[in-house]
């Protein structure tokens, strides 16, 4: 380890606060609202609060980058060219809020100061290639002047990348210097201890192919960031957020093995783009970056998007939060990074996220003894970054399929149940399960599952009328880390929509 660098970060719980929510509220935002924003996270028990400072423009009064409200004049609707009319009213409110707060305080400075006062580690997260404003034209105010003035710096259009398909191309030195300008401002002017470079917002920094060249470019960029931090007078842990698989990360230009070998980073957050990934290979990342780099499993507010079924919200389920963290501790993670945790507040009607459960995620032993629920990943949102969804999967008559789940072994006396959500005519004697070396046998019973025809499914999904095969598990079947599930459909074929494992507390029934 270089003498100037920090030891391995000790944090367990990192809370990632989005750039917008504080400005979405109806009442005028004030410095006291910033304080309360920090207080909510500190009271919940997180170790680090990462405050997002930017999209393509900044939400704080930056000295170097275009600010979100720059160029806006009351009544001038030309500011909203290329913005759908249905979005303009909310955009005006958002801009007024950021501008109003900037007249009273520096949002980022206020948040960092409040973190110090409340004893939570202050951090900044920077979106490295933001492309919010999907469906809007190239002259939308969500696109910075730098972006609009330099179409030659855009990646070529690759349709599967969605509305991030024409992001800024980091092959251009000018693009990298543009990003470095804001990073320098953070390092030189703001009192923080953690800097997250969010390479998943958004995920595309180059055209496809030429992977070795792209990795070389980004390695040079990361060396520059590392040198900047090491030369400063603040001790800042550099913890980027990258795609959910080290191979996928490398294809996108991020050679995490080199970052670990050169100790360019102090930690990594591994994350999907929009939905939580339940089998991210933390152990593979560990083998590449070594033991001195902290690894965090990044969750999203959504627990899963199983095809044709209503989505599960991780932020609204203590059982899912515990299962997510516990499984990754069993796989060797150092902690969790909670992203977009606030989103239930945007539901109609709004719902309060489970802040009270956050502190529980610090203690792996407590989580092992807790009531928890583990899921299988389904419905990849962005094919170049996310885990391939294991479900839905069709199993023919008298055929079998293998699935993988990341779990933590249960304590003595806890009830454990595996549940298979399926769309088919199977009866208990038609579905048979093996987990690792253990033959579980046929399903104990079939229950009615959730229906997906209530308008909550994703538009591209076919609504399902699911059923649930229930498999009580003997003690000692599941193990810490990866677990193989082999499911056989006898007599009739079926479609597997999802699998979960429910672990009860001591002498308690699984949910």
pLDDT for the residue numbered 7: 86
For 91-152, the DSSP string reads HHHHHHHHHHHHHH--HHHHHHHHHHHHT-EEEEEEESS---STT--TT-TTS-HHHHH-GG
Please provide residue 242's backbone torsions phi and psi, each rounded to the nearest 5 degrees. Answer: -130, 175
Whether 481 has a pLDDT exceeding 60, the answer reads yes
201 in Cβ contact with 129 (< 8 Å): yes
Mean pLDDT computed over 376-383: 80
CA 418, CA 434: separation in Å to the nearest integer? 11
113 in Cβ contact with 105 (< 8 Å): no
User: Bridge partners of 142?
Assistant: none
Residue length of the chain: 511
For residue 42, give the nearest of 269, 390, 359 by alpha carbon. Answer: 359
User: Bridge partners of 391?
Assistant: 378
Beta strands, E only, 230-301: 237-238, 241-242, 267-270, 294-299
Mean pLDDT computed over 347-372: 94
365: three-class secondary structure by DSSP = helix
430: three-class secondary structure by DSSP = helix
149-184 pLDDT, tens digit each: 999 999 988 877 777 888 999 999 999 999 999 999
- Cα 508 to chain centroid distance, Å, stands at 31
Quick check: bond before 349 cis, omega within 30? yes
112 in Cβ contact with 192 (< 8 Å): yes
Whether 509 has a pLDDT exceeding 50, the answer reads no
Q: What is the 3-state secondary structure (H, E, C) of 34-45?
A: HHHHHHHHHHHC
For residue 132, give the nearest of 98, 80, 167 by alpha carbon. Answer: 167
What average pLDDT does the chain have? Answer: 93
Task: List all residues 6 or more positions away from 35 whose beta carbon is below 8 Å from its beta carbon.
Answer: 110, 114
pLDDT for the residue numbered 301: 85
The CA distances from residue 374 to 191, 421, 439, in Å, are 38, 13, 20
pTM recorded for the entire structure:
0.94
pLDDT for the residue numbered 247: 96
Which one-letter DSSP state was computed for residue 54? B
pLDDT for the residue numbered 348: 83
H or E segment to which residue 259 belongs: helix 256-261
Whether 352 has a pLDDT exceeding 50, the answer reads yes
Torsion angle, alpha carbons of 341, 343, 347, 351, to 10: 30
CA 333, CA 406: separation in Å to the nearest integer? 12
54-106 pLDDT, tens digit each: 999 999 999 999 999 999 999 999 999 999 999 999 999 999 999 999 999 99
Span between the terminal Cα atoms of the chain, in Å: 46
**Domains of the chain (ranges, CATH numbers):** 13-270 (3.20.20), 393-506 (2.60.120.1200)
222: three-class secondary structure by DSSP = helix
């Amino acid at each position: 380890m270089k003498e100037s660098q920090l030891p391995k970060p000790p944090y367990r719980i990192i809370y990632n606060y989005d750039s917008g929510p504080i400005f979405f509220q109806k009442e005028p935002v004030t410095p006291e609202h910033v304080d309360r924003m920090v207080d909510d996270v500190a009271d919940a028990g997180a170790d680090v609060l990462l405050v997002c400072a930017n999209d393509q423009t900044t939400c704080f009064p930056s000295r170097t980058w275009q600010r979100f409200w720059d160029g806006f004049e009351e009544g001038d609707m030309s500011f909203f060219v290329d913005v759908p009319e249905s979005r303009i009213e909310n955009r005006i409110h958002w801009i007024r809020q950021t501008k109003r707060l900037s007249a009273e305080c520096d949002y980022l400075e206020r948040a960092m100061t409040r973190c110090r006062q409340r004893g939570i580690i202050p951090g900044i997260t920077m979106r490295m290639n933001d492309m919010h404003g999907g469906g809007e034209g190239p002259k939308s105010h969500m696109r910075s002047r730098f972006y609009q003035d330099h179409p030659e710096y855009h990646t070529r259009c690759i349709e599967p990348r969605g509305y991030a398909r024409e992001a800024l191309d980091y092959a251009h030195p000018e693009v990298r210097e543009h990003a470095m300008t804001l990073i320098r401002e953070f390092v030189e002017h703001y009192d923080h201890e953690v800097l997250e470079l969010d390479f998943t917002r958004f995920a595309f920094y180059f055209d496809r192919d030429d992977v070795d060249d792209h990795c070389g470019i980004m390695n040079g960029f990361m060396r520059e960031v590392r040198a900047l931090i090491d030369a400063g007078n603040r001790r800042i842990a550099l913890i980027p957020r990258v795609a959910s698989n080290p191979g996928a990360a490398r294809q996108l230009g991020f050679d995490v093995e080199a970052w670990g070998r050169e100790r360019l980073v102090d930690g990594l957050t591994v994350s999907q783009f929009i939905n939580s990934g339940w089998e991210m290979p933390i152990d593979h990342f560990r083998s590449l970056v070594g033991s001195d780099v902290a690894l965090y499993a990044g969750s999203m507010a959504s627990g899963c998007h199983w095809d044709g079924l209503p989505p599960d919200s991780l932020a609204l389920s203590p059982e899912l939060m515990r299962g997510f963290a516990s499984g990754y501790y069993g796989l060797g993670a150092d902690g969790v990074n909670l992203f977009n945790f606030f989103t239930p507040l945007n539901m109609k009607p709004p719902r309060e996220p489970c802040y009270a459960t956050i502190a529980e995620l610090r203690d792996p032993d407590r989580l092992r003894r807790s009531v928890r629920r583990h899921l299988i990943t389904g419905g990849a949102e962005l094919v170049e970054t996310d885990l391939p969804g294991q479900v839905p999967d069709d199993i023919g008559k008298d055929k079998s399929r293998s699935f993988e789940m990341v779990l933590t072994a249960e304590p003595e006396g806890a009830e454990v149940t595996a549940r298979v959500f399926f769309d088919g005519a199977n009866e208990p004697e038609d579905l048979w399960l093996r987990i690792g070396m253990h033959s579980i046998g046929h399903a104990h019973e079939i229950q009615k599952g959730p229906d997906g025809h209530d308008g909550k499914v994703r538009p591209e999904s076919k609504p399902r009328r699911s059923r649930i095969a229930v498999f009580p598990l003997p003690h000692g079947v599941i193990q810490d880390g990866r677990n193989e599930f082999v499911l056989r459909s006898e007599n009739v074929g079926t479609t597997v929509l999802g699998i979960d494992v429910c672990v009860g507390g001591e002498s308690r029934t699984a949910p």
